[in-house]
């Protein structure tokens, strides 16, 4: 294990950071499938097939700690550590792994706990068989004669790799962008092998816009005079102009409008020259640099094949007959989806579409959307929250596999009441679940199958660390819009809204929604009609502060302060039946609260709701 001083970019800020690393690593090459590989297209790729891969960490005795990391379009097997060392203190001049921020001791994918494998996928140009490889049948490079491949073909090769390494089970498959597509494909093709998947900045199928960008990039390459119908390497040429343009087009989709404005704006390099041929704007120079750098490290034919594989990727068509829910019914693994707010290549709405489908299929699914200005590239750049979320999810998944022991929480009166209401083994949704304490309690006491929804990022990560299914989402947006989170009618046995309804913009609309998506609703709230609060307002002339309402008027998240009587009137107006009511007070017993002025004596109220005529709702 090494400690390293390195430069890290966060947004537009570059800073020196110290951290632990797996240190010096090397890329291994293994030959698999001597008989060849039957591809999705029906063609057979001759064997043996070379696979480049790296490993980090130590395989435990029962081989239960294995994580497969899948890279994106232009990535490689070198995900972490360094290939060569110039300076032992700073690693200056070394080749750093593309996900060094995420993989390593104590990091998101903790090599102190996990044995990590990253392989270069089929069709790439970094050691695994692809267009630059020699065709054993002809003795020449494949070039454009390489057979067309798909994401599932790449996954078949990865599956054979881990088998050759003596591994039959994966704790998780983790990938971003095209790597996320591979993780999804793994979950459907080999659900018996995979325990969980972390799918980052990915999609279930490429949009028409994304296919269009890829098509323009491919056309730039094949229009280059040096492409030579794909035989450029045999003729000692490189279609550098076409590949550079393809990379520039692709790179634009990896950024965001905001990040480009902040980094470049309309800055000129040396002022206006009024010369069409000159590169004048800084953003032009930057894209040119990215294109040139890419040409020096990547193969044009590989770019053609890989982008085509991405375009073909369509889980819904391939596995669901047009219904994404049917896709997720074919697997039984746990999912964590991660998206980024300014990613317009694979926007958050596409992750939420998958989350909605997995929910409808009754799967264990979690989701977090991370605020970032860096567009699609955020998963490689803004890694702090991403790393925490991945770590919380993987650690909890591993702990569950090792027979997690529940933590015993302090007994709370409201928890005990909710526990009595909920039936054993029910499917429960907790809106505004906070750190998940209630769901952990119900998991322990009633063996519920639960999902929490929470808007606070830190609370979401805390829920992940407890092994809970949690969705990072603003419930004010509702659960019907396909661009947000969709939840089907009567998807849950119970929806719990615990001390949250007063924080919502439209409590009445929420009540209608929760009774659409659940058979029963449990709603608790602080009673602003409680006598002590009335006295504070009467005697002090200031907004009350109490254990149930512990905020000053200027920093409270509560935007609707109402009484028990107000809530009863709202339910009547909405045609909602209050089936049961429980009153909680530290001063008075429940009999006094329920029989003598509950609106005055109860500090907190818990209600069980349904529609008056459930057949009509």
- Catalytic residue set: 177, 343, 376
Task: Look at residues 580, 577, 581 and name the one whose alpha carbon lies nearest to residue 616.
Answer: 577
b/e per residue, 529-552, with b = 16+ CB within 10 A? bbbbbeebeeeeeebbeeebbeee
Query: For residues 354 and 316, what is the distance between their CA atoms, to the nearest angstrom?
Result: 10
Query: For residues 345 and 253, what is the distance between their CA atoms, to the nearest angstrom?
Result: 6
Question: Cβ distance 594 to 511 under 8 Å?
Answer: no
Specify which residues 68 forms β-bridges with.
117, 173
User: Dihedral through CA 295, CA 301, CA 306, CA 308, nearest 10?
Assistant: 120
Q: Which helix (H) or strand (E) holds 196?
A: strand 196-200
Torsion-angle region of residue 604: left (phi > 0), alpha (psi -120 to 50) or beta? Answer: beta
Match 């709701």 to its residue by tokens: 609
For the record, the structure tokens of 437 come out as: 């304490």
Match 């110290």 to its residue by tokens: 18
Question: Cβ distance 218 to 307 under 8 Å?
Answer: yes
Three-state secondary structure readout of 403-467: CCCCCCCCCCHHHHHHHHHCCCCCEEEEECCCCCHHHHHHHHHHCCEEEEEECCHHHHHHHHHCC
Question: Cβ distance 123 to 305 under 8 Å?
Answer: yes
Question: Cβ distance 9 to 372 under 8 Å?
Answer: no
Give Cα separations from 488 to 290, 357, 480, 482, 605 (angstroms).
45, 10, 8, 11, 28
Query: For residues 579 and 607, what is the distance between their CA atoms, to the nearest angstrom?
Result: 7
What SS3 class is residue 197? strand
């Amino acid at each position: 294990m090494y400690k390293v001083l390195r430069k890290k970019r966060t947004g537009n800020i570059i800073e020196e950071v110290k951290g632990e690393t797996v240190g010096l690593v090397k890329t291994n090459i293994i030959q698999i499938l001597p008989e060849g590989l039957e591809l999705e297209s029906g063609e057979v790729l001759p064997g043996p097939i070379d696979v480049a891969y790296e490993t980090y960490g130590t395989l435990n005795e029962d081989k239960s700690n294995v994580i497969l990391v899948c890279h994106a379009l232009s990535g490689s097997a070198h995900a972490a550590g360094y290939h060569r060392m110039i300076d032992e203190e700073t690693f200056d001049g070394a080749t750093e792994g593309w996900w060094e921020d995420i993989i390593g001791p104590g990091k998101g994918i903790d090599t102190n706990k996990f044995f990590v494998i990253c392989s270069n996928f089929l069709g790439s140009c970094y050691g695994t068989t692809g267009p630059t490889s020699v065709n054993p049948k002809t003795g020449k490079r494949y070039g454009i004669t390489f057979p067309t491949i798909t994401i599932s073909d790449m996954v078949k090769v990865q599956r054979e790799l881990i088998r050759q390494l003596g591994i039959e089970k994966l704790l998780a498959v983790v990938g971003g962008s095209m790597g996320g597509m591979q993780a999804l494909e793994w979950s459907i093709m080999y659900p018996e092998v995979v325990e969980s998947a972390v799918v980052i900045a990915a999609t279930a199928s490429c949009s028409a816009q994304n296919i269009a960008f890829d098509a323009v990039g491919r056309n730039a390459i094949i229009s280059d005079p040096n492409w030579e119908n794909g035989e450029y390497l045999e003729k000692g040429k490189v279609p550098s102009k076409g590949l550079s343009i393809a990379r520039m087009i692709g790179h634009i989709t990896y950024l965001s409008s905001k990040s480009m404005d902040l980094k470049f704006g309309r800055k000129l390099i040396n002022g206006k020259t009024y010369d069409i041929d000159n590169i004048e704007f800084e953003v032009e120079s930057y894209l040119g640099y990215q294109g040139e750098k890419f040409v020096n490290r990547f193969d044009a034919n590989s770019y053609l094949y890989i982008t085509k594989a991405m375009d073909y990727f369509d889980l819904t068509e391939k596995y669901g007959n047009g219904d994404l829910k049917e896709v997720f019914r074919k697997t039984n693994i746990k999912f964590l989806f991660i998206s980024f707010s300014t990613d317009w290549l694979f926007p958050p709405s596409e992750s939420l579409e998958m989350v909605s489908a997995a929910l409808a299929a009754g799967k264990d699914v979690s989701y977090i959307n991370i605020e970032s200005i860096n567009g699609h590239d955020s998963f490689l750049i803004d890694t702090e929250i991403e790393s925490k979320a991945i770590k919380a999810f993987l650690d909890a998944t591993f702990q569950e596999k090792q027979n997690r022991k529940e933590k015993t929480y302090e007994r709370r009166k409201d928890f005990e009441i909710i526990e009595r209401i909920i039936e054993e083994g029910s499917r429960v949704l907790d809106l505004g679940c906070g750190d998940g304490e209630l769901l952990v309690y119900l998991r322990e006491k009633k063996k519920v199958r639960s999902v929490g929804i929470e808007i606070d990022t830190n609370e979401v990560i805390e829920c992940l660390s407890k092994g809970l299914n949690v969705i990072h989402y603003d419930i004010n947006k509702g659960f019907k819009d396909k661009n947000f989170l969709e939840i089907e009618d009567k998807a849950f046995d119970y929806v719990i809204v615990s001390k949250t309804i007063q924080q919502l913009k439209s409590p009445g609309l929420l009540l209608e929604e929760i009774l659409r998506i659940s058979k029963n609703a449990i709603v608790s709230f602080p009673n602003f009609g409680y006598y002590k609060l009335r006295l504070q307002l009467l005697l002090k002339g200031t907004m009350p502060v109490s254990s149930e309402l512990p905020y000053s008027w200027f920093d409270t998240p509560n935007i609707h302060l109402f009484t028990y009587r107000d809530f009863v009137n709202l339910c009547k107006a909405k045609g909602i039946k209050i089936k049961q009511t429980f009153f909680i007070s530290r001063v008075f017993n429940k009999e006094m609260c329920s029989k003598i002025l509950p609106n005055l004596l109860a500090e907190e109220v818990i209600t069980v709701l349904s529609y008056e005529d459930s057949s009509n709702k």
